[in-house]
Amino acid sequence: MDITITDKAVSWFEKELLLEKGDAIRFFGKTYGSTEVHEGFSVGMSVDQPEDDVLGKTEVNGITYFAGTQDDWFFNRYNLEVDYDEQKDEPIYHFNEN
């Protein structure tokens, strides 16, 4: 699984969550909501550190963005693109088949 994050999304995370080098954001599947490919589930995120087994990760400005193997059920067969929705002032998530 590849994770890409746009510059606008990086700016949002750093500003809203007061992130510093060494911090990490975990993306995971959560109940309720929907995505482009999931009905009844949406993307959750938390400030967390990656465990040994990660499904995918990327690092930008010293901050790690990742998904753990426990969320393979949610991200299986997809790469995650994290962008920024200016109208809602929040991240938006896109799933691309890998």
pLDDT bin (cut points 50, 70, 90) of residue 55 is very high
Question: CATH number, domain at 18?
Answer: 2.60.300.12
Alpha helices in the chain (DSSP H): 7-16, 72-75
pLDDT in tens, 5-47: 999 999 999 999 999 999 999 999 887 766 666 766 788 899 9
State the Cα–Cα distance between residues 52 and 6, nearest whole angstrom. 25
pTM of the model: 0.90
State the Cα–Cα distance between residues 5 and 91, nearest whole angstrom. 10
> How many domains would you assign to the chain?
1
pLDDT in tens, 63-88: 999 999 999 988 999 999 999 999 99
First-to-final CA distance of the chain: 7
Mean pLDDT throughout 93-97? Answer: 92
